[in-house]
Structure 1
């Protein structure tokens, strides 16, 4: 039986106000699909990129949003990995999460284990998988290494810092305001720098007695790129994985040679491309949550109906930690 869902769609690129609430009919799941009733929808800065056209959507109108937790309402005939009534979470580039209900490929769904709430799953799935591949798969880091993480008070940043400390790393965190310094310290940073008012290069080099750091994890982009290279120790690695402040300026690879530096721009889909890889990564994340290594309860909660306000807060960097949209009875069509 068809399901009516309330969705937030964009018909053009632009400010948060281009998001329009509309009711649509969701069909029966295909052979390899599941129908999900979303309970909590994750908010990520990449949603802003798609909304304003920094990254393109396949076609208009588009339902953006990559991450949500919910309940399986129906499954296609070939689906074996999830069943009706299961709590599940997903986070990928299939779009469509800004909805009260939607169809989703079943092999990209992960069951939420007991002991992990829908709030935690929706706020931490994409961010936690991102922190995991940055720490555990992009390069080899050893206990005692010092790393620098930009935007340490953000959703990915707080998870990254907690997990890095559990792995025995020293973490320098940078933030964009004095208000976020306390948040980054609470997450576990050994040293916090407000790069809006302090020279993070000088501060990081001073903290490491001039040695530099083993790696920099940079999602800020243009504002920090050159400084990120400058604080690396010989044979250090700059892991660029975002561009919140714009594209970094072009780099001549020869500039890496004097200190034999490495530069990479990894993206999550290449680390969770198979159902098996996704399951392993998700199990590791959920175990870290369940055992208390990671504290991931969202710090910014909005009803789905306040999506536009949430996008303003996200874009203007008024949020710290994870932000989610809860689907309430008032949000249903």
Structure 2
């Protein structure tokens, strides 16, 4: 099978198209012929070495396709069934083996590209809005990278929860896209001090929660955008990792709460996985959740996809097609 791998960490050019043996499913596993592969920012962390992985490594942790074979003990899935998954390594390839209990059936009304585009980022937005900081009607929240994959979905879900949503974006084009997906107020951080603008928009009070996937460059401003007892949710490092800080700063800024969550801990059981995945897929099926997908890239163009993603020139979800 064809696959993208890297043998050393570095820039996008370390991603190489290679031929690898097609894997065989073991007990409790299924072999998936991939038809759409999700690209996520965490893939760049693996490639650069920010999150160490064993080398050589096939990146990617999300996809959709058709079951080609099942291993011993798999009884609730069948060959030919359409499925999707997230949080399973080795996805930049034509085939991948995934633990059967990580697979989610794809409803007939949803395309493989929609399923591959929404599962990881949609479940991320779900846990952020429902569990990490459970949004209540009347809350005001700040969502950074409001035109990104998670940002667009989180904005829509936050609005479902009854929140007033303020987002930050880099361009007018992204601002319009953010508004189309439910943002009440959009701040162009390239032109305006987002902290000062958040304070102005909230009458000096600040927001109840900040959802920050940017990291280093927005960390201090995010803390200063919160009202007393507010919650800082740091779930990404697009600008670099947040440097170490003294916990006492949370006290001096208003007894703030700080958390650094990860999707894996919110879908530890199959019941939790299916609860979040089913909610997200049902919203897509009913039209309540709009999934924006960039024109897909060929598998061989994975390096260019990473360049575009890291260049912040993309909006919505990026996909590879095997």
Same fold at TM > 0.5: yes
Alignment-derived partner of residue 289 in structure 1:
284
SS at match of 2:296: strand
TM-score (norm 2): 0.97
SS at match of 2:114: helix
Cα deviation for residue 139 of structure 1 reads: 2.2
Task: Answer yes or no: is the 8 Å Cα contact 1:205–1:211 preserved in 2.
Answer: yes
Residue 279 of structure 2 is aligned to residue 319 of structure 1: no
Residue 5 of structure 2 is aligned to residue 6 of structure 1: no
Task: Answer yes or no: is the 8 Å Cα contact 1:201–1:231 preserved in 2.
Answer: yes
Cα deviation for residue 28 of structure 1 reads: 2.8
Alignment-derived partner of residue 62 in structure 1:
57
Structure 1 stretches lacking a partner, 5+ long: 328-333
CA distance in 1, matches of 2:149, 2:278: 20
SS at match of 2:204: coil
Cα deviation for residue 297 of structure 1 reads: 4.1
Task: Answer yes or no: is the 8 Å Cα contact 1:162–1:294 preserved in 2.
Answer: yes
Cα deviation, 1:74-130, whole Å, max 9, x if unaligned, reads 1012002311011111110x3100000121111111111121111111011100000
CA distance in 2, matches of 1:47, 1:131: 18
Query: Which of residues 126, 134, 141 is equivalent to 2:135?
Result: 141
Residue 177 of structure 2 is aligned to residue 173 of structure 1: no
SS at match of 1:137: helix
Query: Which of residues 113, 131, 151 is equivalent to 2:145?
Result: 151
Which range moved further: 102-111 or 127-136? 102-111
Task: Answer yes or no: is the 8 Å Cα contact 2:33–2:94 preserved in 1.
Answer: yes
Alignment-derived partner of residue 102 in structure 1:
96
Alignment-derived partner of residue 116 in structure 1:
110
Task: Answer yes or no: is the 8 Å Cα contact 1:90–1:109 preserved in 2.
Answer: yes
Mapping of 1:269-288 within 5 angstroms? 269-288=264-283
Q: In the comparison of the two structures, how many residue pairs are matched? A: 321
Give the aligned CA root-mean-square deviation in angstroms.
1.1
TM-score (norm 1): 0.94
Cα deviation, 1:193-222, whole Å, max 9, x if unaligned, reads 111221001111111111110000001111
Alignment-derived partner of residue 230 in structure 2:
236
Structure 2 stretches lacking a partner, 5+ long: none
Cα deviation for residue 235 of structure 1 reads: 0.7
Cα deviation for residue 27 of structure 1 reads: 3.8
Alignment-derived partner of residue 11 in structure 2:
15
> Which aligned segments of 4 or more residues in structure 1 are displaced greater than 3 angstroms?
none
